[in-house]
Chains A and B, each alone.
Chain A
Amino acid sequence: MTVATQAAPAAAQEQEMLISGSEAIAEALTLADIDVVTAYPIRPYDTVMQAIAKKIANGQLVAEYIVAEGEHSQFEIVKHASTVGARVFCGSSGVGWAYAMECLVVTPALRVPLVAMVGNRALDDPGAFGVEHNDALFVRDLGWLLCWIDSSQEALDTTLIAYRVAEDRRIFLPIAISADGAFLTHSQAITKVPSKSLVEKFLPPYNRGDLQLHPDNPITVAPQVNEDWVIEIRRQNNAATERAYTVIEEAYADFRRVFGRGPENPWFEEYMTEDAEVILMGMGTLSLPVKVAIRKMREEGKKVGLIRLRWFRPFPYEQLAEALRKAKAIGVIDRDYSFGSPFGSGVVATEVRAALYNAEHRPPLIGFICGLGGREVTLEDVYKTTEICYSAAKAGKTERATYWLGVRE
């Protein structure tokens, strides 16, 4: 549903470039004029840091580029730079993201609007470079806003939107933009890159305001509060996360106004869902094989559609309940795992199931764990998913709640 609401006034102010997801984010960071960026190598996210380094070396961007000695420092350095008023960027993948965990915990707690990229990667051990979403999902309960993208264009646009949302005084929370390792971080596509003047119309400068750490504003930040105040502060964080529903919708609407493109529904992309009996769901680049499979199945008369989730936090539970209202069965394809979870489902399936609990219409929901470690999600996988969903739709119940697909026995 990437339909512009009005004629594109911006077309003349955009140029097309053949760039990868990581390079698209680097273009957006240059346009956003970031001040401090910290790098540390781990595949596949590090391609974004390579792209930024070139931008700085070539004079396209003026920013402090700090190569840290590990991810813990990488995330702490930008956290502190943000508190004095600098616009910052950071990122990681897999166990690198895990190594930074302590800092990932305190960043939303301190209301620091860091924008980070996660080049999704399987966790160790055993080693794998390929995509799994468990890394970014570590922080789902902590106040990080989480989104998944599936094209270079969406990478660029979402980065600009992320700064706009994160740095909104009503929010002041970090945002992680997840890009599937290799499938998106390294794959190039034609991407529209706007002019700087256009971006300035959309993205105001970062203003830390009364929270800025500076001798002219001698505040004490993050003292010990203990049981006297912690629960009130947690509730403030929760309130900011709830306000994100409004702020994100505002940001996308304004993005469409300024750039003349971008989705009307920020939360998820709907593909052929209008008359769909079976709705498949997932996040990230698996949308590509799913869309191809849907087109083929439609030729055979099967009414299948896709909902590709963009935002996982905040989780669009109301919007989803509405979008899934007419489905006869739902198949959620998780590129992650959650061992010991209810029904043994992946994280997204568990969340969608919870989102529908209070809904009037609760069609059978089946979880599929697929494509782990970067394994390809094939058309056969999607056909099988759909077949299982159709049997559940016919029976009006699920025989099994979770399937692992494409796994050698």
Chain B
Amino acid sequence: MAETTTFSNATQVLEPFKGVKKVTIEEYFSSGHRTCQGCESALVMKLMVKAAGPRTIVLGSTGCMYVANTTYYSTPWVVPWMHTQLGSSGSAALGTAAGLKALMKKGKMKAEPINVIAFCGDGGGADMGLGAISATLTHKEYNSLILLYDNESYANTDIQVSGSSPYGAHTTFSPPGKVKRIMHTRWKKNTAGMLAAGHPECRYVATVCASYAVEMMNRVRKALTLGGPTFIHSLDPCPKGWDYDPMLSHELGELAIESGIFPLYEVEDGVLKYYGKTKAIVEGRPRKPVREYLLKQGRFAHFTEEDLEYFQAKVDQMWDKWEIPGVVCFRKDVEAKA
């Protein structure tokens, strides 16, 4: 069958919401899920698809937002939704986008821009599925968004450490003990920075936090509008995995940003822009000490002064030593050392 001439690879043009009162009322992630009280990731799902609108297909890889959201006979998804395997968010986005494109191009389906969003947790995205996400970000002719909701552990399976868990966190695979106080000695993987730096033709990579809901939704809208494969990394406080009072989810998100642990930025066509409170930090506003953020969470309750100092020093490095502060970890003093 020949290619039709009417097909274009255009995306939906989703203008930013100009303030919370301008946000559309319609919900596409509604009741029917059973996430924990205070679950920030459920809010991320709701905002993500609210930002995307009704002409959207969502693919969800295994994790909390699969298991807790879609328990047969109920579903919170008003838009079409499909499960994909733990390491397959990249492949799910690519396959769905390619299927739609082929059918529209060949005149087998009505041509229209349909948003394709695949989400993954930090286990599915930063660990197992990293290769597939990387591959998808090189396929520039297929429009899709991959959203990583990072609650910093395999939270669905009993809170196990992932490559995205912070240093020293108490998880069921990294419990503090009598001989080893710190079982998880790895520093958190810099997923968004790595993906932005490694995929020169990916038009958009951003970090978000749902504590800043409108900012978050507008980044989803920008990613979908720009098109090609795009990536958003969301930091999601998790009452169960981080061990805190569920009412503190938003506050912890804010503290993660204000202490500089999780920088907010976007890389659009290769141009880096910090935004929100992170922008203020880059412009010189002092970062809050990490102590306040860490000690509000039970997963760091075993930390000694020494551990707090180590953590603070590592975060200081992100801002004082990195070539691109908070984003790219090449050291400014490389030449000096050589």
Q: A residues near B, CB below 8 A?
A: 33, 35-36, 62-64, 66, 68-70, 72-73, 76-86, 88, 102-103, 106, 205, 213-215, 217-226, 228-229
> Contact: A68 with B70, CB < 8 Å?
no
* With known contacts A214-B57, A228-B72, A83–B96 Cβ distance under 8 A: yes
Closest Cβ of chain B to A98, distance in Å, is 16
Quick one: given A84-B100, A84-B103, A224-B71, are A62 and B2 in contact (CB under 8 Å)?
yes
A-B contact count (CB 8 A): 145
- CB B12 to nearest CB in A, in angstroms, measures 11
Q: Provide the bound-state CA to CA distance between A214 and B82, in Å.
A: 11
Question: Is there contact, CB below 8 Å, between B88 and A72?
Answer: yes
The reply to whether B98 and A224 form a contact with Cβ atoms under 8 Å apart is: no
Q: Sorted from nearest, which 8 A-B pairs have the closest CB atoms? A: A80-B95, A81-B99, A76-B91, A223-B70, A77-B95, A86-B99, A222-B83, A69-B135
Q: Are A73 and B132 in contact (CB under 8 A)?
A: yes
Asked whether B131 is an interface residue with its Cβ less than 8 Å from the other chain, the reply is yes
Contact A83 B82 (CB under 8 A): yes
B244: Cβ under 8 A from any A Cβ: no
Bound-complex Cα distance A380 to B57 (A) = 60
Cβ B131 vs Cβ A215 within 8 A: no
Contacts of A82 in B (CB 8 A): 99
Closest residue on chain A to residue B81 by CB atoms: A220
With both beta carbons as reference points, the residue of chain B lying nearest to A68 in the complex is identified as: B135
Partner of A36, one of B54, B95, B114, B132: B95
Q: What 0/1 readout, one digit per residue, does chain B (60-92) give for beta carbons within 8 Å of chain A?
A: 000000110011100101111111110110111
For B90, give the chain A residue with the smallest CB separation.
Answer: A73
With A76-B95, A77-B95, A225-B72 as given contacts, are A213 and B102 in contact (CB-CB < 8 Å)?
no
Contacts of A62 on B, CB cut-off 8 Å? 1-3, 102, 105-106
**Inside 8 A of B1's CB, which chain A residues have their CB?**
33, 62
Return chain B residues, CB-CB under 8 Å to A106.
85
- Besides A36-B98, A73-B90, A76-B88, 5 other CB < 8 A contacts? A33-B1, A72-B87, A80-B96, A220-B70, A229-B72
Q: Does B273 contact A (CB under 8 A)?
A: no
B102, A36: Cβ atoms under 8 Å? yes
Give min CB distance, B42 to chain A, whole Å.
Answer: 15
Q: How far is the CB of A281 from chain B (nearest CB, A)?
A: 37
- The residues of B that contact A224 with a CB separation of less than 8 Å are 66-67, 70-72
CA A219 to CA B77, docked complex, whole Å: 8
Knowing A76-B85, A218-B78, A223-B83, the reply to whether A63 touches B95 (Cβ < 8 A) is: no
Which A residues touch B71, using CB under 8 A? 223-224, 226
B256 vs chain A, min Cβ distance (A):
30
| Residue numbers in A under 8 Å from B114 (CB-CB) | 214-215
Counting chain A CB atoms within 10 Å of each CB, the highest count among B80, B134, B139 belongs to B80
Residues of A within 8 A of B90 (CB): 73
Q: How far is the CB of A277 from chain B (nearest CB, A)?
A: 51
CB distance from A278 to the nearest CB of B (A): 47
Contact check, A85 vs B88: say whether CB atoms are below 8 A apart. no
Q: How far is the CA of A217 from the CA of B77 in the complex (A)?
A: 12
Given A62-B1, A62-B3, A215-B57, A220 and B75 touching (CB < 8 A)? Answer: yes
Is the CB–CB distance between A205 and B57 below 8 Å? Answer: no
CA distance A217 to B131 in the complex (A): 31
CB distance from B239 to the nearest CB of A (A): 21
> Can you name the residue of chain B whose Cβ is closest to the Cβ of A88?
B99
B184 interface contact, C-beta 8 A: no
Q: Considering only CB atoms, which chain A residue lies closest to B79 in the complex?
A: A218
Task: Check A85–B99 contact: CB distance below 8 A.
Answer: yes
Q: Once the chains bind, are A76 and B84 in contact (CB under 8 Å)?
A: yes
Q: How far is the CA of A64 from the CA of B114 in the complex (A)?
A: 17
The residue among A79, A82, A84, A88 with the most chain B CB atoms within 10 A of its own CB is A84
Cα(A379)–Cα(B126), bound, Å: 55
- Candidate in B81, B91, B101, B135 with the most chain A CB atoms within 10 angstroms: B91
A contact residues around B67 at 8 Å (CB): 224
CA distance A126 to B125 in the complex (A): 33
